[in-house]
């Protein structure tokens, strides 16, 4: 009986793990209509000139007042990445760090404009022939840093202002198609999925590639390749962090420089 309980417990844990894995999804949203900006009264992709206050419905004890005409303003959206963690200093001290970085309106931000975008721009899928690159828009613009001088590249080569990672939800598209193919058809598992499959689902890989890099801007970052105890084994030294796969990607993208001597630090001062 005890063994049976152990088997059931293991099966339950496996079922819970599988359920959690299937439910994972990253999403963004930029609605085309809201209570205060109904699309039936106003094109929320355009902001009209102000001609007077928004006209609201009469007060009601059961609901909120809502616009009835002359709607002002529009809908603007901004996708932002954020992350935190601990960085281990050369002496072994762990320091808490965090950063935020933009993930939409990147071309406008690079041009010195606001990164908030209307739904018609925010909800567009990246269509470039070259995939989004780690460090974009600076990477596509050709920005570089030799350590002696910073070159901004060709501003405007990167033109995408939509939400980074936005992609059709192919799992839901396939599931709905399979449900419709049964005889008789079964209810679709994703009943509210738009025809094109764009329900805010995003590819987390693109978010990580672009967001992590942008979270490091605009400060020049530098990592010190120095250990106060040269005899310390590699696996016990903080220098081992620079060899991790995720850190090497950051180094190759140019988001951080590793200083091996004091002379290197003098070239990256603000």
Residue 166 burial by Cβ neighbours in a 10 Å radius (0-12, 13-18, 19+) = buried
Instruction: Report the chain's mean pLDDT, rounded to a whole number.
Output: 78
Place of tokens 């002696």: 148
Structure-block tokens of residue 37: 């900006």
Nearest to 221 by CA among 198, 251, 196, 179: 251
Burial class (CB in 10 A: 0-12, 13-18, 19+), 31: middle
d(CA 111, CA 204): 25
pLDDT tens across 105-136, in order? 999 998 889 999 999 999 999 998 888 988 88
Q: Facing residues of 54 across strands?
A: none
Quick check: 133 and 74 in contact, CB under 8 A? no
| pLDDT (0 to 100) of residue 254 | 67
Strand-pair partners of 77:
117
Which of 114, 115, 116, 109 is CA-nearest to residue 156? 109
The predicted model scores a pTM of 0.67
Non-local (6+) Cβ contacts of 188 within 8 A are 175, 176, 179, 180
Rounded CA-CA distance 31/77 in Å is 9
The SS3 assignment for 145 reads strand
Q: How confident is the model at residue 216 (pLDDT cuts 50, 70, 90)?
A: low
pLDDT at position 14 is 38
Q: Where are the domains of the chain?
A: 74-167+202-265
- Of 98-102, 122-126, 141-145, 183-187, the poorest mean pLDDT is in 98-102
| Top-confidence residue, 265 or 253 | 253
Parallel, antiparallel or unpaired: strands 222-224 and 257-259: parallel
pLDDT tens digits for range 168-211: 999 999 999 999 999 998 999 999 998 889 999 888 888 878 87
Collapsed DSSP state (helix, strand, coil) of residue 258:
strand
Q: Nearest 5 degrees, angle CA 243-CA 245-CA 250?
A: 90
* Beta strands, E only, 140-209: 144-145, 150-151
In the structure, what pLDDT confidence band is assigned to residue 144 with cuts at 50, 70 and 90? confident
Question: For the segment 23-52, what is each residue's pLDDT rounded down to a tens digit?
Answer: 456 788 899 999 999 999 989 999 889 999
Using the predicted structure, report yes or no on whether residue 239 has a pLDDT greater than 50.
yes
């Amino acid at each position: 009986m005890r063994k049976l309980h152990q088997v059931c417990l293991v099966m339950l844990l496996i079922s819970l793990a599988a359920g959690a894995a299937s439910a994972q999804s990253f999403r963004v949203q930029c609605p085309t209509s809201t209570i205060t900006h109904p699309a039936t009264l106003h094109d929320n992709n355009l902001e009209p000139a102000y001609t007077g206050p928004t006209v609201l419905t009469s007060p009601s004890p059961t609901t909120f007042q809502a616009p009835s005409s002359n709607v002002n303003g529009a809908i603007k959206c901004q996708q932002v990445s954020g992350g935190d963690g601990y960085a281990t200093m050369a002496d072994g001290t762990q320091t808490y760090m965090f950063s935020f970085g933009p993930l939409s309106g990147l071309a406008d931000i690079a041009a010195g404009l606001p990164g908030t975008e209307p739904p018609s721009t925010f909800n567009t899928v990246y269509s470039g022939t070259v995939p989004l690159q780690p460090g974009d828009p600076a990477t596509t613009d050709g920005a570089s840093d030799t350590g002696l001088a910073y070159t901004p590249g060709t501003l405007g080569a990167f033109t995408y202002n939509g939400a980074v990672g936005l992609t059709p939800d192919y799992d839901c598209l396939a599931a709905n198609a399979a449900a419709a193919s049964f005889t008789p058809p079964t209810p679709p598992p994703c009943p509210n999925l738009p025809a094109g499959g764009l329900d805010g689902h995003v590819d987390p890989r693109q978010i990580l590639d672009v967001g992590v890099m942008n979270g490091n801007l605009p400060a020049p970052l530098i990592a010190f390749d120095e250990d106060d105890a040269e005899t310390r084994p590699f696996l016990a030294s903080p220098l081992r962090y620079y060899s991790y796969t995720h850190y090497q990607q950051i180094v190759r993208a140019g988001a951080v420089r590793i200083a091996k001597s004091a002379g290197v630090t003098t070239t990256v001062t603000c």
